[in-house]
Structure 1
Amino acid sequence: MDVLSDVIGTVRTGRPNAARVEWHSPWGMRFPEVSGVGFQVVLQGSCVLSVEGGEPLHLGVGDIVFLPNGQGHVLAEESASPVRDLCDLLPHGRDADPGAPVTELVCGPQGAGPRFGSAAVGEDGRGRPSCVTLGGSYHTCGARPHPMLSELPRLVHLPARVGARTELGAAVELLGAELDRPRPGGDAIVPSLLEMLLVYILRTYIEENRSAAARGWLGVMRDPAVYAAVQAVHSDPAHPWTVAGLGERAGLSRAAFAKRFTALAGLSPLAYVTWWRLTTAGRMLQENDDPISAIAARVGYSSQFAFANAFKREFGLSPGRYRAGTPLPAPPAAAPSAG
């Protein structure tokens, strides 16, 4: 699997959800911060999105906003529109789970609920919605997102461009259509479409910002030599990697590779190998019931004891307790990135 696909893999252990929302005037909603990534797409009309400490962002049809670290935000008809909290509008109030799967909502001044024909909640069907959006998120449930995500701006705006980004537009159209008219098989296809949309968003940002960063993981992605070594680690984390071996994959000497990798990624090559092995193991522990000894071997540890010690140093929990869902004692460590 390529590196960008693996970046997506570090967040897809969570529960994906998406909703097509029809907004009826006057409206404004505050979305809470989530442990994961989120996005908003304007399908019809216009609105304003703002995050704490930032300038309001005016959005039109086709605009996409990506929130790589689950930033809380406000989406509203206008900057001065009255705003309510998402949980206050949901049927179970503040006891509701903002990460629970929802496919379609109508939101108006009297609340939020499923769509009935074209009417907003508490209305008799008068008028069209002033705005229609498509929003979604991955709640990562204790996963360890790749450090590339932490290096992105807290808000990535991809404005609509006529005749450009055809694949991204197609992904939005497919997901919007699936949510607009739920049909058999939707529970299987919506998560796949969400993942596809996330790939296209990240790919678009990387391609359009190739000259923006000389360091960090965007720099790694556009450095053919270092990227080749990272690709090798992702393809075979169990291999007994050495700096010399990774340098050979990069076509560089041991010293030149170590210096170049560290300058870009902000950590040594073998530190990243360890981080990726344990991150991969954590995902395996959440996704299947294979014996811990088997998982240890798949990520390059010759003994379960050595794996358990390394895992506990990184996560603060034993593999067994992590698999059982024991809350982490502190936010999980992320691989350091260049600042």
Structure 2
Amino acid sequence: MDVLSDAIAAVRLGQPSSSRLHTRQRDWCTRLDPYSGAGFHIVLRGSCWVLPDEGEPVRLGTGDAILLPHGAGHFLADRPSAAGAVPFEQWRAAQPAGNDSGTAEFEALCGKYRLHRQGRHPLVAELPPIIHLPARLGEHPELRAAIDLLAAEADQRRPGSCVAVPSLLDLLLVYMIRAWMAESRTGTWPAALTDPVTAAALRALHTDPDAPWTNDRLAVEIGVSRATLTRRFAALVGRPPMGYLTWWRLTRSAALLRDTTEPLATVADRAGYATAYAFSHAFKKQFGTAPGRYRHDHGVAGSSAG
């Protein structure tokens, strides 16, 4: 595994969803309330405005994409004004059927990813409230390809669509975050993942998080001194390597508690703890609740906290 894949997998819940929207209306505006996850819009035809609850309006032209990583509430409109906004579900239900899309003034792909807010990887937490990805010829070809494929599949009852669409939506999320990382000039994590020492250390820890890592072993693994590893890793990641590893192991264990019925002793062992008691103490320190209670409150696969 790599850092971005792990960061997404640790917080993703269920399958993403999307729909193809189109309207022949002019002077329209719809409201999308805050959401516990991430949302996106991709303009296929025409243009629109995204008016976030906080921040400046963003104009989207044909081919533009926008990701709202933290589920910010916003308006979608054909003008930079929220006057006369209609709730999204009500507005969507009033639009013509899919076979009328050829006459639409505006057409877009809209979707969302359900994400667990607690225990987010700092890479995800660092993402800005809005990521605007203009359609620039020749840039991020994999993102453009995913958009084209998703546009061809969305709302089409074709063989295999039930598998293809969620998979394409997962790709779309990865490619949008990759594109932001490639263009970011201020983010900590884009720098961490391009620094040779820090990136190699992160790759080793995420590839085999259950290994008996120490600072010395990790330094040998990536071919630098312990002092160099500790200094560069802490400067870019914000915590020393073993501190990050402990945090990541506990974050992974939270995902196991949510998504599986593995016994607590097994989860503790996979997090690197010799006893369930030691694991419970560390887990409560990080998440503010005991593992059994966390599974009861957040688990989707039933409770077997033991």
TM-score by structure 2 length?
Answer: 0.88
- Determine what percentage of the aligned residue pairs are the same residue: 42
Aligned partner of 1:64: which letter? A
Amino acid at match of 2:215: V
CA contact (8 A) 1:286 1:323 kept: yes
Q: Deviations over 1:189-232 (max 9, x none)?
A: 322111111111112222233xx13x621111111111111111
Partner Cα distance (1:262, 1:39) in 2: 33
SS of 1:34's partner is: coil
* 1:199 corresponds to which of 174, 197, 201: 174
Distance in 2 between the 1:169 and 1:62 partners? 8
1:24 match: 24
Aligned residues: 298
SS, match of residue 238 in structure 1 = coil
**Contact 1:42-1:61 within 8 A present in 2 as well:** yes
2:263 aligns with 291
Partners of 2:268 and 2:149 in 1: CA distance: 39
- Superposed, 1:55-134 pairs within 5 Å as 55-80=56-81, 82-86=83-87, 89-90=89-90, 107=92, 112=94, 115=97, 117-118=99-100, 128-134=103-109
Structural mapping, 1:176-255, within 5 Å: 176-209=151-184, 212-213=185-186, 216-255=188-227
SS at match of 2:201: helix
Asked if 1 retains the 8 angstrom alpha-carbon contact of 2:30 and 2:87, the reply is: yes
Counterparts in 2 of 1:323 and 1:185: CA distance versus 1, 3 Å: farther
CA distance in 1, matches of 2:84, 2:124: 29
1:172/1:11 CA distance change after superposition, 3 Å: farther
Q: Deviations over 1:248-279 (max 9, x none)?
A: 33432222221211111112222211111011
Q: CA RMSD in A?
A: 2.3
Ranges in structure 2 where 5+ consecutive residues have no aligned partner = 300-306
Report the CA distance shift for 1:21/1:249 in structure 2 as closer, same or farther (over 3 A): same
Other-structure match for 1:316:
288
In the TM superposition, residue 113 of structure 1 has moved relative to its aligned partner by: 6.4
Whether contact under 8 Å (1:27, 1:82) holds in the other structure is no
**For residues 116 and 148 of structure 1, what CA distance do their matches in structure 2 show?**
37
Alpha-carbon separation, structure 2, partners of 1:142 and 1:6: 15
SS of structure 1 residue aligned to 2:297: coil
Structure having the larger proportion of residues in helix? 2
Give, as a single letter, the amino acid of the residue that structure 1 aligns with 2:123.
Answer: M
User: Does the Cα contact within 8 Å between 2:146 and 2:172 map onto a contact in 1?
Assistant: yes
Amino acid at match of 2:21: V
Q: Which amino acid aligns with 1:65?
A: I
Q: Distance in 1 between matches of 2:44 and 2:98?
A: 19
Shift of 1:153: 1.9
Aligned CA distance change for structure 1 residues 326 and 180 (closer, same or farther; 3 Å): closer
Offset from partner CA, 1:131-157 (integer Å, 9 cap, x none):
111111212245532111222221111
1:73 deviation in Å?
1.6
| CA gap 1:205/1:326 in 2 versus in 1, 3 angstroms | closer
Q: Gapped runs of 5+ residues in structure 1?
A: 91-105, 120-126, 328-339
> Quick one: distance in 2 between partners of 1:72 and 1:312?
31
